[in-house]
Amino acid sequence: MKPRDSLGLRRGYHSPQLDVKVRLNTNESPFLPPEEFAPTLESKLRKLKLNRYPDRGYRLVREALARAYDSVPERIFCGNGSNEVLLNIALSYGGSGRRAVVFEPTYSLHSHIAKTVGTEVLVLQRNNDFSVTTPSIEQAESYSPDIVYLCSPNNPTGNLESTESLAKVVTMNAEPLVVLDQAYGDFVQEHLTSENFESENLVRLRTFSKWFNLAGLRFGFCEGSEEVISVLDEVVLPYHIDEVKQSAILAALELKELFDNQAQKVIDLRNELYKHLLEIGVKAHPTNANFILMEFEGRDPKVIWADLVRESVLVRDTSNWPYLPPSLRVTVGTANENAAFLSALEKTLKRMN
């Protein structure tokens, strides 16, 4: 049987999962949820009536998120991971006859999901420091896009978009829907918030897979205008946030301070790891996320990746990614995991001298 022509089947988004002792390739938190999380969740699960459908509008979750992120429930939309939020945005504002702009290198699923629903995706490149420049924004505006995707901190590079660049994008004459992916936004001490920037055509994405160390739960949300959120509510499948997930999110938000304390440790570990990488001569790019992009001048990163695997350390091989220099990306792990990675990397680099 033949799928529709516009589907554009592509290799699925994934990273290899190998049997290693230290896995630092998927930007997860290295910590389990706080020990208080399980009993808090259990107390909520005991009250569920799973013979009934969940609250379709997940009202309590929206109210809790609004309190935690200084918003209002009517401006919040949730999904099973931020990727499902991206899918519903593409279904609502993309599709056949519509255009989206991405600035590469960036998160690959922005363009992947847009193309899957039939959207024409126009690719513009970032500067050498991975920033989005004014000429690129002006070129994007000339395309009259329906959607513009930005990522801050950007994945896989870790850099922030400037408020000035964002302002130029949201004020384009075409008035596109601007999707600002802030999956790693909590790892930044000073970042764009609704207090210092606001626009009715701006949608901000967040996830519980990074700062909240709940990647296995698959939960993400976005904040946007009430008009945009009402459109997403019309498009999404009914009862898409199940009762168990709603209970888990409520439990996590009740314990937000404990999750915050754990994630703050990741920031400290990131800064320490970045410093050590520079000390051993690695070109580590400045980062505001829980990962670091690394270049190895004069050395083949694919050879380094394979050597690290032999040392039972797995990082992300980005050596052949489009729009990126030959590189590897490492997720920040625990102190012991970071130490094991650095030890294996130093051995590899010495062998290559």
Residue type, 215: A
Q: Which CATH superfamily is domain 5-32+257-352 in?
A: Aspartate Aminotransferase, domain 1 (3.90.1150.10)
**3-state SS, one letter per residue, for the chain:** CCCCHHHCCCCCCCCCCCCCCEEECCCCCCCCCCCCHHHHHHHHHCCCCCCCCCCCCCHHHHHHHHHHCCCCHHHEEEECCHHHHHHHHHHHHCCCCCEEEEEECCCHHHHHHHHHCCCEEEEEECCCCCCCCHHHHHHHHHCCCCEEEEECCCCCCCCCCCHHHHHHHHCCCCCCEEEEECCCHHHCCCCCCCCCCCCCCEEEEEECCCCCCCHHHCCEEEECCHHHHHHHHHHCCCCCCCHHHHHHHHHHHHCHHHHHHHHHHHHHHHHHHHHHHHHCCCEECCCCCCEEEEECCCCCHHHHHHHHHHCCEEEEECCCCCCCCCCEEEECCCHHHHHHHHHHHHHHHHHHC
Predicted local distance difference test score (pLDDT) of residue 156: 96
Q: Are the C-beta atoms of 229 and 76 separated by less than 8 Å?
A: yes
- CATH 3.40.640.10 domain span(s) along the chain: 37-254
Distance, in Å, from the CA atom of 350 to the CA atom of 87, rounded to the nearest integer, reads: 45
Predicted local distance difference test score (pLDDT) of residue 286: 96
Predicted local distance difference test score (pLDDT) of residue 185: 92
- CATH 3.90.1150.10 domain span(s) along the chain: 5-32+257-352
Centre a 10 Å sphere on the Cβ of residue 24 and count the other Cβ atoms it contains. 26
| Residue among 315, 256, 266 at smallest CA distance from 288 | 266
Predicted local distance difference test score (pLDDT) of residue 221: 98
pTM of the model: 0.94
Per-residue pLDDT of the chain (353 residues; tens, 9 = 90+): 887 765 654 554 566 778 899 999 999 999 999 999 999 999 999 999 999 999 999 999 999 999 999 999 999 999 999 999 999 999 999 999 999 999 999 999 999 999 999 999 999 999 999 999 999 999 999 999 999 999 999 999 999 998 899 999 999 999 999 999 999 999 985 544 444 456 899 999 999 999 999 999 999 999 999 999 999 999 999 999 999 999 999 999 999 999 999 999 999 999 999 999 999 999 999 999 999 999 999 899 999 999 999 999 999 999 999 899 999 999 999 999 999 999 999 999 998 87
Q: Are the C-beta atoms of 284 and 332 separated by less than 8 Å?
A: no
CA end-to-end span of the chain: 54
Predicted local distance difference test score (pLDDT) of residue 11: 57
CATH number of 37-254: 3.40.640.10
